[in-house]
Amino acid sequence: SWTTGNVIEEQVAAIRAQVGNKRAVCGLSGGVDSAVAAALVQKAIGSQLTCVYVDHGLMRKGETEQVEKDFVASTGVNLKVVDAQERFLTALAGVSDPETKRKIIGREFIRVFEQAQAEIVAESAGTGEDVAFLVQGTLYPDIVESGGGTGTANIKSHHNVGGLPEDLEFELVEPLRQLFKDEVRMVGQELGLPEEIVQRQPFPGPGLGIRIVGEVTKERLDLLREADAIAREELTAAGLDREIWQCPVVLLADVRSVGVQGDGRTYGHPIVLRPVSSEDAMTADWSRLPYDVLAKISTRITNEVADVNRVVLDVTSKPPGTIEWE
């Protein structure tokens, strides 16, 4: 019968059989899937695994620290963090078009990740333990959607998997191939991963980069990170996390409106709240959040986030709107 205990035992045995005494690399995105996949492989082969986390500077407040500290503490995993914030900001300078942003972020991610992989391979040279495996948090629905991969090097990279090299020279280890999202969360919980990682709502690979309508800059990212953290804090405090699918918080960086704050006129930016209910993100409805929660979020964001003088609520279903603004 299906229990998380059985799944973990089976997968640990399968991973050991597949990897033998070779080494494996796993990219961590901060999301549930890569975290659970890495934790399973860590349980199976321990220090033969090295995880890589590319810090592109587009994460939400506290998320990089969650990976660096809490994930490492709960798994004991070997982690290589690459600080690529400057590199991503430079590559994104002057770019406003959403698809161009996505392409740049995906391209830079692959380059940084490949470089880290190459360094890990170089470090292990001469130890007799080749780095021969790449761990991926592919789920059952990802496989169905991309037409059924076989676990070989040529798997079609799904946009949720997080921009992997197209030309893989590694054999894939995919311990979540038979699981659905809710099962992955249960396995993660059983493995003792932090609640914030296991219960994390969907978050796009390009991160806050596609939640700034306009050019991405360090100042704008910092501002949006604050606003997003406030919205998340209040939604959590109100016990609404499980009711909403996700709540993008969007900065309209190229829009300004007049406001009055303290004893002066302001000319600041609007923040959009986009809380949605959904089953699978293919369709969605805007969440009817309690007015008092919305009021609290609005008051806090306009009080606490410099340069924001207005908070607006997106009341569009999908279709015709998408969940993200870009």
Binding residues for ATP: 29-35
Read off the amino acid at residue 52: V
Binding to ligand XMP (CB under 6 A) within 188-227 occurs at 202, 204-206
Binding of ligand XMP by 137 (CB under 6 A): no
- Subset of 297-326 contacting ligand XMP (CB under 6 A): 318, 322-324
| 98 near ligand XMP, rule: CB under 6 A | no
Identified binder of ligand XMP from the candidate list 18, 66, 117, 160, rule CB under 6 A: 160
Tell me 57's DSSP state.
S
The rounded distance, in Å, linking the Cα atoms of 153 and 155 is 6
Instruction: Answer yes or no whether residue 138 interacts with ligand XMP by CB under 6 A.
Output: no
Residue 50 or 246 having the CB closest to ligand XMP: 246
Residues 6+ apart with CB under 8 A from 81: 52, 53, 55, 64, 67, 68
Q: Are 44 and 12 in contact (CB under 8 A)?
A: yes
56 binds ligand XMP (CB under 6 A): no
Question: Using CA of residue 287, residue 291, residue 293, residue 298, what is the dihedral sign?
Answer: positive
Strand 264-273, strand 257-261: pairing:
antiparallel
**192 three-state secondary structure:** coil
Site string for ligand XMP, 241-280 (x = CB under 6 A): -----x----------------------------------
Comparing CB distances to ligand XMP, the nearer of 157 and 160 is: 160
If one counts every other C-beta atom within 10 angstroms of the C-beta of residue 161, the result is 22
Q: How many residues bind to ligand XMP according to rule CB under 6 A?
A: 13
- Binding footprint of ligand XMP on the chain (CB under 6 A): 102, 159-160, 202, 204-206, 246, 281, 318, 322-324
